[in-house]
Amino acid sequence: MSGLYIRKFMDRLQQLELKGSRDFTCPINDAKNLHKDITKLLLDIEEVRNQTPHDEQVINVELKGEDF
């Protein structure tokens, strides 16, 4: 996953904030590419979540402050 358009979007927002701009416009092609990057990122996250074992083990820890 490259995330090129996500980084490009973040850089552009940072530039506009530094200039004090209040509006942001983006060509439709850049918006589509950003959408593709975000969709891929979400799908990758979902895939990793599904690969993670769900056998969560609970570990109890008891702390005693005796002879402190």
The structural domain count of the chain equals 1
Burial class of residue 22, CB neighbours in 10 A (0-12, 13-18, 19+): exposed
Model pLDDT, residue 68: 58
User: Does 67 reside within a domain?
Assistant: no
**pLDDT tens-digit map of 4-31:** 999 999 999 999 999 999 999 999 999 9
Residues of the domain holding 16: 4-51
Q: What is the mean pLDDT of residues 32-48?
A: 94
User: Does 68 reside within a domain?
Assistant: no
Model pLDDT, residue 31: 96
Higher pLDDT, 1 or 23: 23
User: Does 11 reside within a domain?
Assistant: yes
- pTM of the predicted model over 0.75: no
Mean pLDDT (the chain, rounded): 89
- Contact, 64 vs 21, CB < 8 A? no
